[in-house]
Structure 1
Amino acid sequence: MLYFSRWKTVFIWFVIAVSLLIAAPNLFSNEQLAKLPSWFPTKKVTLGLDLQGGSHIMLKIERADIVKERLETVVGDIRNVLREANIRYTGLNGTGQQIQVRITDVAQLQAAKDALQPLLTPVSAGTFGATVTEVSLQDDGSGLLRLELTDSGIDYRLSSALTQSIEVVRRRVDELGTTEPLIQRQGTDRIIVQVPGLQDPQRLKALLNQTAKLSFHMVDTSMPVQEALNGRPPANSEIMYSTDDPAVPYLVERRALVSGENLVDAQASFNQQNNEPVVTFRFDSRGAQRFAQATQQNVGRPFAIILDDQVISAPVIREPIIGGSGQISGNFTVQGANDLAVLLRAGALPATLTVVEERTVGPGLGADSIRAGVVASIIGALSVAGFMLAFYGFFGVLANVALAVNIVMILAVLSVIGSTLTLPGIAGIVLTMGMAVDSNVLIYERIREEVKSGRAVVPSIASGFQRAFATIIDANLTTLIAAVVLFYLGSGPVRGFAVTLAVGIVTTVFTAFTFTNWMFSLWIKRSKPKALPKGIRTGIFDGRGLPFMSIRRYTFAAAAALSVASLVSFATAGMNLGIDFRGGSIIELKAKQGDADIGDIRARLDGLNLGDVQAQGFGGAQDVLVRVQAQEGGDNAEQSALERIRNELGNDYEFRRVEVVGPAVSSELSYTATLGVGVALLFILIYIWFRFEWQFAVGAIVATMHDVILTIGLFVLTGIEFNLTSIAAILTIVGYSLNDTVVVYDRMRENLRRYKKMPLAELIDISINQTLSRTVLTGLTTSIALSALYLFGGEVIRSFTFAMLFGVAVGTFSSIYIAAPILIAFRLRPDAFNKGDESEKSKKNESLPNSKASV
């Protein structure tokens, strides 16, 4: 295992060199990269919005709008079809997804059904020849026809509208001139829009919220508008209001002369007569012809320019407009004219898009987050490196070199796959640094055991790598399962954390069994060692002989009591749920001048009648964190509340971070969070059951549930906000706890094959003592890395790292005092391992090792 052919050596160094080259651009600014040779890679790790500022907005297309519009269209089609067929009817109306019409002459019933047949014909869904029936028909024989919009037809229209909306949203965002926006579909009715570096998120929301349906209608002058308001307007007209303040009513004909579909261009400009901002537009040939015809026939009459059911202008036609172009005036600001031009050029949305989730980070906070993340990473890396050097000497140097290569490979992989690095993602890298050392510790301790048993150094090193391989794979796969579940069920920053954690696990296994192995091979080849190098100080854990199982009843009872107390407190007091799970808003403010006045902020916000509003200090004296409860009016009410807060505090405070989660999203996040923990535990149970025996799987799951329950108890006791990153923390605790448990279980399985007559409690004590150095050292290195994050990583991830620190301690405890006693309680039989390798039979009567426990 220590022999490396030349091609293997070349391959290892080729991978490292390529990783260095790919990761190198992250050390340079974009200006510096532009000056480098063309062959030098330029792709960098994409920074998340929390690191560079910007906006994350989730839009939901309203199914009700699709149903309403489709209902109106079908009703209109039925009316036209029956009129063209000269079929008399009455009572044509539609509600919900139901339409009914009565055929006056029953003799014409079949003719009516034949005329309506085209509406019932299935349409192509565009995938593998699939068809969808949009309208179904029921006939009771009395002349009453009932038509229904099918759910499958609405789903088809919803999907088509979502696809069209994505293109419209993309054109609108591109018009803003932003760099690398992310616009993607999520689920059946959502669109995610991420725009990094955006300075004005309010403008983005204004552009995305508007449907931008433009149309030109004649103003109905057959009766005064006030008379129509007091009485009943003509059947072919309706009352619409202008965008003025106060709004002006207009009586407008329902039939549109020309619609926005005929526009080919729209630009912001200035009126040459009064220098006011206006929007010039140009029609296509068909629109120009229809517009020219309409203006020729209605000279002297006013016509209304309507945008999203509001009259933005109602000029009088002075002369025919035959050039196919014109201008819209309406007391615009320069930016308002620009935004309207953007909307018209991008086209109309097929349905209203509602903002159901918003997360905005200002550029100032993003720069602070980068600084905090880099400082925490450097401190964590140096602390872990110093710790390894102190305990392992020369072997610690090799571990640190491998760790440095590991971090480079993580950055290279993240650059290649285009992953977005978020603040929790940095936490994932720092956590990986702490856990990556675990593989080296397992190998080193195996080598020490082999040397201690009397074997020569070189065979001991080869055996150490070989024996540690299965343990490392088992331990890291459990964490990888948790990371995969996090990725598929998580969103946003949680996904970023899962990606970096998963990539870190893969690169850790690679460096442990290729690069670290190669460095040992080189050391042996050059130094030809006769003994292990000096400086290894982990012998302090040898021969402890601690009787762990002798107090198992007391520790198990204490753990059970704490678990019950946690569950009871959770059921009665509950957790301090963040907006991710209960909806509402979180706003981080920074005073533009002087210190923040929290009392004044509370007083001003209380006057807005937004329900429960909390304001508290956050970080420095200038910083304030405001929490606003979920609004009763739904997703639109959340946005209205945020707008009112901006108007109230915008002059005095900088909005550094805004998170708004609507009730629909919060309920979904609660469901996926619970599902994520459950799915992770299920897959891990299956894996451990497959690799070990069923008693091991039960023990691992009970120990893990203990860790999860106590962590939940911690959130209840401390009142720390429980949000999406808390779910990431719990699932990572699950992975870490199982990592620790699997290492101990692996040693137990090995000893069960070796000492088949030994009492189980005694054998478990021996196994725990043999892995004690690894358990302590891995727990300490992970805690050191997490402590650096907790102290220097910033307020945003402080609760996350605090939970992780607690989880490391609880996970270490449970792997000894929960997972192990379960094996005794379920009467694990050593003879279950008789099918182990026959080569171990000669060791059946072997004397106990030096670390034998005294029980």
Structure 2
Amino acid sequence: MLHFFRWKTLLIWFVLLVAVLAATPNLLSDKALERLPNWLPHSRIDLGADLRGGTHLLFKIERTDIVRELLEDTVAGVRNNLRQANIRYTGLSGNDQTVSVKIADAQQIPAASTVLEGLVTSLKSGFWGGAAPNLIVRHDEAGQFTLDISDDAVDAGTLAAQSQSVDVVKRRVEALGDVDFAVRPEGADRVDLQVMGDVDVERLKNIINEPAKISVRMIDESMSGQEAISARWPATSEVLYSLDDPPVPYLVDRTDFVTGKNIVDVQSVVNGSSISIAYKLDADGTERLAQKTRQNIGRHLAIIFDDQVMAAPLINAPILDGTGTIPVSFTADGAHDLALMLRAGALPATLTTVEERTVSPALGAESARAGIWSGVAAAVLVAGLMFAFYRGLGVIAAISLVVNLLLILAFLSAIGATLTLPGIAGIVLIMGMAVDANVLIYERIRDEAKTGRPFAEAIENGFNRAILTVLDANVTIFIAAVILYFLGNDAVRGFAVTLAAGILATVFTAFTLTRWIVVRWLHRRHPRHLPRDINTGIFDRANIRFMGIRRYSFTISAALSIAAMIGFAAVGLHMGVDFAGGSIVELRAKQGRADVGDIRERLGDLNIGEISARQLRDPTGALVQLQPQGGGENAEQSALTLMRDELGGDYDFRRVEVVGPAVSGELTQAATLGVLASLIVILVYIWARFEWQFAIGAIVATLHDIILVLGLFVLTGMEFNLTSVAALLTVIGYSLNDTVVVYDRMRENLRRYRKMPLPILIDASINQTLSRTVLTAVTTLLALAALALLGGEVTRTFAFVMLFGVAVGTFSSIYIAAPVLIAFKLRPETLDNDQDRKVPEPETKSGNPAV
């Protein structure tokens, strides 16, 4: 008789109570949430930019800026140190990461070596934090010194610039007003920014991209800027150009006496048609400006903004109070943004936009609504199918499904996760797969009951023997989810988190809540046999000779696989912007229908490369893709800006994805490594849990599934992107899930019926698990069909690939994975070392083995 300890019951209800408390904040308004006691959970699930609208920007710190600054500092350090030591030198120059200088007096070479070695400092380097020099100093007997800036110094400078850039970006976005945003470092040289809601993306990028380094110098009036270009100017000066169009050259002193660090406050001032920037300096800046202007009346100042001369005012009188105005040739909005950047502080290096993903609030709301409806439809269809086949036990499975969703919601709330559209797709997919554990348990109970055992004992044995099968089946998908999390962008991570949370919740509910409900039902009703209204008995009469046609199925599969590989080699995949780079934009006409032909014609005149445009299901919508520009990250952004200027008056930009070559290359590498790592880890697990013949069969079946899914992309010309990789990995996990269940029954039967011919034993095993295979496949397909029909444009491709993959995975677990065992002559002797799982041969009432 089953017995459920009281502490287990209390544990189940405690977990459910915690889940309810953790999920409740998502249903409360902000005011209601504030009234909750502090000891109750307050965290909620955040909606991603693709569900509420917003912009995700990824910036790269320009390493060349770091190198240039280190080079200038090193040159200045060499000059100052040698001068202070009264060491004569010549030919001081810097290029890339190398500074060269020649000591004029051979007798001063030892002293110069000591002085220049003083510029060397130690940096932390490597995983273990070892010491590394910032400079490597070398010299020859002739007194030629070379100082090489180490890569460790550049890396350290980049990390410091990243930290400073995060702070500056935060201040700049905060200055825009009431904006919901998040900024964080990414990798070693990236800054990740997410801004929610409706934002002017072009303005936002302009504000973030600009270094906004401002300084005050003196104009070198020994010659004009034009004369300096064609002559040799003093080493203490340099030629800079103005912001005018066309730019005007100025000869400017190299020394800053006021910098952006001295600015206390700065505001834009609009006085009729006159626009200027009003500034106020700190005490140090005020003193230096007063001293400089007092000594140079009648000369010109140079206001330098990002290495360009913004203004060159004449000094008519000393500026003693540290305040003043700088006339600028900007619009009022441009002057306001300039003042904003100056108040927020200068960036240590240029930030280049390498990735942009923008979704309008309207499209986000539509996607969220579509995701919810697809989830509701999937839940209703799955619960209805379970009730149709299992009646009362189906109701228990439906209750477990609801608790599953509650646990997923609670988990996501507790970790403060961001729910994305792929995340909703993951939840919908889990709805179809979650009942698999219940089906495995119920069918195992039916198998035990058919042997003639008392019903209570059949239930206990059913749960106990299903544990390892359920775990084996779900571990493969969980591994795929973990690998997916490390693949790349936030959308894929959202899918991975919901999928992993759903799998854990499924295993928990199957062996706690479902078992508890079944035990309570058993103790209250005292049934002596399996309920007669369970309809999965229709599969009991199945005696399909699957292995009888294995040669034909293998031949057809091999032909399709070869055709897919030929197509892949000859045509290739239609790579999306994630892997190929470029831009993809979803447009909606402000009035009337979207004219695809007109869009192609107008964009074709912009000289931005090949353009593809197609109509969406909604006649007012169009999807436009720009090919990679070939000019680096800035070229991609420039092409998008031209497109906005050309079409912005007639179309709303509902979705924008721009991926530069740096990010696309990284995503391609990460996706490739992720798929390979996932396959290796999963197959190692199967090899450890089963015999080598089973692992080889799983490998062959998995490769078959991968090839056919890739062949689908080749045949249909669908875009292959990160979401496609997520679908592919999930198909692999699902297929292996199905294969593991069949293999588990085969291994059990091999121990029971050692003399049975292998093809007949495999057929018997597949027939015994046929009800589970069919029900799991159908519930998953129903959930995916709901997602494909109701989930919206973005998830439609994912759902379509998954529909095909589930069908292929179900086929391969029967017709590919099983025949491989025959080819490798799997026999019971190979299982003798696994006695701990040996199962006694069951008997029916007549004493004959049950097959």
TM-score range, shorter chain: over 0.9
1:753, CA displacement in angstroms? 1.5
Distance in 2 between the 1:468 and 1:680 partners?
25
What secondary structure, in the 3-state scheme, does the structure 2 residue paired with 1:256 have? coil
1:282, CA displacement in angstroms? 2.5
Cα distance change, pair 41–841 in 1 and its aligned pair in 2 (3 A):
closer
Name 2:691's counterpart in structure 1: 693
The answer on whether the counterparts of 2:420 and 2:494 sit within 8 Å (CA) in structure 1 is yes
Q: Does 1:341 align with 2:326?
A: no
TM-score for both structures, normalised by structure 2: 0.96
Q: Does 1:738 align with 2:736?
A: yes
What secondary structure, in the 3-state scheme, does the structure 2 residue paired with 1:531 have? coil
Distance in 1 between the 2:747 and 2:20 partners?
40
Which one is further off, 340-349 or 366-375? 340-349
1:682, CA displacement in angstroms? 0.5
The answer on whether the counterparts of 1:276 and 1:332 sit within 8 Å (CA) in structure 2 is no
Residues 219-259 of structure 1: CA deviation (Å, up to 9, x unaligned): 33333344344545444333333333444443332222211
Distance in 2 between the 1:488 and 1:410 partners?
20
Distance in 2 between the 1:563 and 1:843 partners?
40
What secondary structure, in the 3-state scheme, does the structure 1 residue paired with 2:320 have? coil
Distance in 2 between the 1:583 and 1:127 partners?
32
What secondary structure, in the 3-state scheme, does the structure 2 residue paired with 1:827 have? coil
Distance in 2 between the 1:687 and 1:129 partners?
35
Name 1:386's counterpart in structure 2: 384
What secondary structure, in the 3-state scheme, does the structure 1 residue paired with 2:303 have? strand
Cα distance change, pair 149–39 in 1 and its aligned pair in 2 (3 A):
closer
1:161, CA displacement in angstroms? 1.8
What secondary structure, in the 3-state scheme, does the structure 1 residue paired with 2:534 have? coil
What secondary structure, in the 3-state scheme, does the structure 2 residue paired with 1:763 have? helix
What secondary structure, in the 3-state scheme, does the structure 2 residue paired with 1:811 have? helix
What secondary structure, in the 3-state scheme, does the structure 1 residue paired with 2:794 have? coil
Name 1:111's counterpart in structure 2: 111
Q: Does 1:498 align with 2:496?
A: yes
Whichever residue aligns with residue 196 of structure 1, its letter is: M
What secondary structure, in the 3-state scheme, does the structure 1 residue paired with 2:257 have? strand
Name 2:445's counterpart in structure 1: 447
Distance in 2 between the 1:612 and 1:453 partners?
68
Name 2:566's counterpart in structure 1: 568
Name 1:196's counterpart in structure 2: 196
Whichever residue aligns with residue 217 of structure 1, its letter is: R
1:669, CA displacement in angstroms? 1.1
Distance in 1 between the 2:13 and 2:369 partners?
32
The answer on whether the counterparts of 1:178 and 1:198 sit within 8 Å (CA) in structure 2 is no
Cα distance change, pair 708–253 in 1 and its aligned pair in 2 (3 A):
same
Residues 281-300 of structure 1: CA deviation (Å, up to 9, x unaligned): 33222122112212222234
Cα distance change, pair 240–380 in 1 and its aligned pair in 2 (3 A):
same
1:200, CA displacement in angstroms? 1.4
1:124, CA displacement in angstroms? 5.6
Which one is further off, 778-787 or 595-604? 595-604
Distance in 1 between the 2:680 and 2:772 partners?
27
Which one is further off, 63-72 or 277-286? 277-286
Aligned residue runs from structure 1 range 556-595, under 5 A: 556-595=554-593
The unaligned stretches of length 5 or more in structure 2 are none
Name 1:292's counterpart in structure 2: 290
What secondary structure, in the 3-state scheme, does the structure 1 residue paired with 2:538 have? helix
What secondary structure, in the 3-state scheme, does the structure 2 residue paired with 1:620 have? coil
Whichever residue aligns with residue 79 of structure 1, its letter is: R
Cα distance change, pair 587–840 in 1 and its aligned pair in 2 (3 A):
closer
Name 2:214's counterpart in structure 1: 214
Whichever residue aligns with residue 473 of structure 2, its letter is: A
Distance in 1 between the 2:768 and 2:176 partners?
63
Name 2:24's counterpart in structure 1: 24
Whichever residue aligns with residue 410 of structure 1, its letter is: I
Cα distance change, pair 838–117 in 1 and its aligned pair in 2 (3 A):
closer
Cα distance change, pair 821–247 in 1 and its aligned pair in 2 (3 A):
same
1:311, CA displacement in angstroms? 2.5
Which of 811, 815, 818 lines up with 1:817 in the alignment?
A: 815
Name 2:100's counterpart in structure 1: 100
What secondary structure, in the 3-state scheme, does the structure 2 residue paired with 1:489 have? coil
Name 2:241's counterpart in structure 1: 241
The answer on whether the counterparts of 1:544 and 1:851 sit within 8 Å (CA) in structure 2 is no
Cα distance change, pair 755–228 in 1 and its aligned pair in 2 (3 A):
same
Which one is further off, 246-255 or 65-74? 246-255
1:165, CA displacement in angstroms? 1.8
The answer on whether the counterparts of 1:545 and 1:769 sit within 8 Å (CA) in structure 2 is yes
1:766, CA displacement in angstroms? 0.9
Which of 673, 676, 698 lines up with 2:674 in the alignment?
A: 676
Name 2:601's counterpart in structure 1: 603
TM-score for both structures, normalised by structure 1: 0.96
Distance in 1 between the 2:550 and 2:112 partners?
82
The answer on whether the counterparts of 1:770 and 1:851 sit within 8 Å (CA) in structure 2 is no
Aligned residues: 850
Residues 800-836 of structure 1: CA deviation (Å, up to 9, x unaligned): 1111000000000010111111111112221122244
Q: Does 1:313 align with 2:292?
A: no
The answer on whether the counterparts of 2:748 and 2:838 sit within 8 Å (CA) in structure 1 is no
Aligned residue runs from structure 1 range 822-841, under 5 A: 822-837=820-835
1:178, CA displacement in angstroms? 5.0
Name 1:403's counterpart in structure 2: 401
Name 1:425's counterpart in structure 2: 423
Distance in 2 between the 1:125 and 1:738 partners?
43
Name 1:636's counterpart in structure 2: 634
Cα distance change, pair 735–356 in 1 and its aligned pair in 2 (3 A):
same
What secondary structure, in the 3-state scheme, does the structure 1 residue paired with 2:78 have? helix
Whichever residue aligns with residue 399 of structure 1, its letter is: A
Distance in 2 between the 1:542 and 1:850 partners?
15
Cα distance change, pair 762–361 in 1 and its aligned pair in 2 (3 A):
same
Name 1:457's counterpart in structure 2: 455
Whichever residue aligns with residue 461 of structure 1, its letter is: I
Cα distance change, pair 845–540 in 1 and its aligned pair in 2 (3 A):
closer
Whichever residue aligns with residue 165 of structure 2, its letter is: S
Distance in 2 between the 1:549 and 1:441 partners?
25
Name 1:706's counterpart in structure 2: 704
Name 1:266's counterpart in structure 2: 266
Which one is further off, 590-599 or 120-129? 120-129
The answer on whether the counterparts of 2:451 and 2:850 sit within 8 Å (CA) in structure 1 is no
Which one is further off, 479-488 or 74-83? 74-83
The answer on whether the counterparts of 2:784 and 2:799 sit within 8 Å (CA) in structure 1 is yes
Aligned residue runs from structure 1 range 656-675, under 5 A: 656-675=654-673
Q: Does 1:720 align with 2:733?
A: no
The answer on whether the counterparts of 2:328 and 2:335 sit within 8 Å (CA) in structure 1 is no
Distance in 1 between the 2:825 and 2:695 partners?
14
1:130, CA displacement in angstroms? 4.0
What secondary structure, in the 3-state scheme, does the structure 2 residue paired with 1:821 have? helix
Distance in 1 between the 2:843 and 2:512 partners?
36
Residues 458-495 of structure 1: CA deviation (Å, up to 9, x unaligned): 21111111111100000101110011111122322111
Cα distance change, pair 850–366 in 1 and its aligned pair in 2 (3 A):
farther
What secondary structure, in the 3-state scheme, does the structure 2 residue paired with 1:374 have? helix
1:498, CA displacement in angstroms? 0.5
What secondary structure, in the 3-state scheme, does the structure 1 residue paired with 2:755 have? coil
Distance in 1 between the 2:762 and 2:119 partners?
74
Distance in 2 between the 1:634 and 1:515 partners?
55
Cα distance change, pair 391–728 in 1 and its aligned pair in 2 (3 A):
same
CA-atom RMSD, angstroms? 2.2
Distance in 1 between the 2:433 and 2:839 partners?
35
The answer on whether the counterparts of 1:542 and 1:851 sit within 8 Å (CA) in structure 2 is no
Name 1:72's counterpart in structure 2: 72
Residues 722-773 of structure 1: CA deviation (Å, up to 9, x unaligned): 0110000000001000100000111111111111222221111111010000
Cα distance change, pair 842–353 in 1 and its aligned pair in 2 (3 A):
closer
The answer on whether the counterparts of 2:451 and 2:843 sit within 8 Å (CA) in structure 1 is no
Cα distance change, pair 390–99 in 1 and its aligned pair in 2 (3 A):
same
Q: Does 1:165 align with 2:168?
A: no
The answer on whether the counterparts of 1:132 and 1:156 sit within 8 Å (CA) in structure 2 is no
Cα distance change, pair 418–838 in 1 and its aligned pair in 2 (3 A):
closer
Name 1:52's counterpart in structure 2: 52
Whichever residue aligns with residue 167 of structure 1, its letter is: D
